[in-house]
Amino acid sequence: MSTGTLLLVPNALDLGADEVDLREVLPDGVIRRAAALQHWAVEDARSARAFLKRVAAVVPLAVPLQSMAISELPRPRKGSREPVPAAQWHALLQPALDGHDLGLLSEAGLPAVADPGAALVQAAHAAGVPVLPLPGASSLLLALAASGGNGQSFAFVGYLPQDAAPRAARLKELEALARRSGQTQLIIETPYRNAALLAAMTATLAAETRLSVSCGLTLAGGWSRTDSVTGWRARPAQMPDRWPAVFSLLAG
């Protein structure tokens, strides 16, 4: 029996905000492929069902939503540093091993890019299951493109420490790296801490350092701004506490 394919299905970037028309952010072909799937591995089952309802408003689903097999990605035990056993990831691939296509979906953007799912992709390769990424928006690449930073050399460094002292130390480290290597550094934060991170950046970074912020990408009213730290201090931005944002330290 031939195996099915693991399809990496992009989601919209409007988690926690007013929904945009799915057709504005996903190609028609991706919506049709999503509507045809009956087996899913997802970050969160509730948000996955909400996504599929939006898909159904554009293209009828192959089977009723309540008939779909939707499994959540495993998570490490709380407080444990032990990785999820490989057997759990392999078990999620059973529909594909049985010959069915399997969709991988995160809560926003491209699965396995600044979102869970990479371990499932690794397991698929190890098991001989074909992997097919479908096109959709990545907030990281949209922010990089809008920043005017170095798109030839960049790094996604994820979240910074929440405590002030280690966060300031990490910012100084990334600033020095960007200045020395010419590499753009991409940072994200939980939306309700966006304002705190921007305040820390403008207080910690050198006056001449260029800082870019992209907020609410693909949403109505979303924006991108690149300025020196001096400019950000002179003209502070009001950061929404529900919209996701990407912060970039720009190379020269």
Q: Do 128 and 147 reside in the same domain of the chain? A: no
Q: What's the pLDDT score for residue 218?
A: 93
pLDDT at 116: 87
Using CA of residue 195, residue 198, residue 204, residue 207, what is the dihedral sign? negative
Q: Do 11 and 125 have their domain in common? A: yes
For residue 184, what pLDDT band results from cuts at 50, 70 and 90? very high
Q: Which backbone phi and psi does 221 adopt, to 5 degrees?
A: 90, 0
pLDDT-derived band at 66 (thresholds 50, 70, 90) equals very high
Task: Count the domains in the chain.
Answer: 2
Cross-strand bridge partners of residue 39: 69
Q: Which residue in the block uniquely carries the two structure tokens 């990334």?
A: 174
- Does 148 share its domain with 125? no
- Please indicate, yes or no, whether residues 124 and 11 belong to a single structural domain of this protein: yes
Radius of gyration of the CA atoms of the chain, in A:
20
In a domain? residue 1: no
pLDDT, tens digit, 9 for 90 and up, residues 22-39? 999 999 999 999 999 999
For residue 104, report the phi and psi dihedrals to the nearest 5 degrees. Answer: -110, 125
Q: Identify the CATH number of the domain in which residue 179 sits.
A: 3.30.950.10
Same-domain check for residues 90 and 184: no
Range of the domain at 68: 6-133
Share of the chain above pLDDT 90, in %: 86
Q: Distance between CA 192 and CA 195 in Å, rounded?
A: 7
What's the predicted TM-score (pTM) here?
0.90
Same-domain status, 73 and 172: no
Q: Is residue 232, in this structure, part of any structural domain at all?
A: yes
Residues 129 and 143 occupy one common structural domain: no
